[in-house]
Amino acid sequence: MPILSKLNPLAAKPVTRGFNTGFNTIGRVKRTPDSRTRKELMQSIDAYSQNNETIKSLAKAIKSLDDKTLGTINDLLELSSSSELLTETVANVDKKFKQNVNNNLIKNIITASKENPDAIKFIDSVINNTDNLTSKAVLAGISKEFILNKNSARQLAATSEVMPNIAKEALDGAFFNPYELKAQKDFIEYLNVFTAPSNKPDKIKSIFSEVCPICEKSKEPIPIDVIQYLQSSAPMTQIRENLKTAEEVIKNLGEKAKDFNIVEFITRNINLK
């Protein structure tokens, strides 16, 4: 008598973006844009519902969302379907991430899709610009208060735009320590600086589009105090005028430019012409 498999060969399978295939690098990544159709996204929710009671109970609400948000939820489920078991520290990140996905995160995203869509853009930007473990580390601790805080919506939108730059600055060349996850913790602290509700969105974006290009003209690395810059009260109109002068100053300083406090210069010298 033949032995019948208990597995259903016709069961739906998720259409994934390949996060868990091949060698997973640590640090900044650039993922291929999500090209899944709505039918494929729906199929994936059905597949995850088979073994996930939370998704099964939320399936109707999830399927009512727009394609972009559907894609975000599928990405989270794809990430949570893998385990990084290098060390106990890494395993704990996995555990906390999966718990947040199942207990809070997806429910909060359903609400945010109507109340604070910029939070979803922020989550997408993290997933699409950082490796699996770093994404999990960030999203394991992302709270309901953070996702639904409309007061920081503009800051989240601006931070999402410059996420590739932030990932490059914070993660490129960072040493991966699976016992401490220092690079991941530093990245989270960096994100907290950028997403503070008191920040001006135009200043968040100007760090990489206006300040960094001036500093890069120096032969020596010039440090940029991001916190001092974002918290400064100097208007962007004056900062832009000062940047023109700063470029000439840097050129004249030569090798001494490494000691130049550009943030102090462009935010405090408000009377420069």
Average pLDDT over residues 34-63: 96
Tens of pLDDT, residues 229-261: 999 999 999 999 999 999 999 989 888 888 999
**What is the average per-residue pLDDT within 130-142?**
96
pLDDT of amino acid 270: 55
Give the pLDDT confidence score for residue 127 in this predicted structure: 98
219 to each of 85, 167, 244, 256, how far by Cα in Å?
Answer: 43, 23, 18, 9
CB 260 within 8 A of CB 250: yes
Report the pLDDT value the prediction gives residue 3, as an integer from 0 to 100.
47
- What does the DSSP assignment read for the chain? -PPPPSS-TTS------STTSS---SSB--PPPP---HHHHHHHHHHHHTT-HHHHHHHHHHHTS-HHHHHHHHHHHHHHT----SSHHHHHHHHHHHHHIIIIIHHHHHHHHHH-HHHHHHHHHHHHHB-HHHHHHHHHS--HHHHT-GGGHHHHHHHHHTHHHHHHHHHTTPPP-TTT-HHHHHHHHHHHHHT-TTS-HHHHHHIIIIIHHHHTTSSS-----HHHHHH----HHHHHHHHHHHHHHHHHHGGGGGG--HHHHHHH-TT--
Which pTM was predicted? 0.91
What is the reported pLDDT for 109? 98
Decide if pLDDT at 61 tops 90. Answer: yes
Neighbours of 83 (CB within 10 A): 12
pLDDT at 22: 64
- pLDDT for residue 76 is more than 60: yes
pLDDT at 272 over 50: no
For position 7, what pLDDT does the model report? 46
* pLDDT, position 11: 60
Q: What is the mean pLDDT of residues 132-145?
A: 96
- Mean pLDDT on 85-105: 93
Tell me the pLDDT tens digit for each residue of 170-228: 999 888 888 999 999 999 999 999 999 999 999 999 999 999 999 998 888 899 999 99
Q: Regarding predicted confidence, which is higher, 109 or 255?
A: 109
**What pLDDT shows up at residue 1?**
44
- Mean pLDDT within 15-43: 89
Query: How far lies 69's CA from each of 19, 31, 75, 110, 149, in Å?
Result: 18, 17, 10, 8, 18
pLDDT, residue 87, reads 93
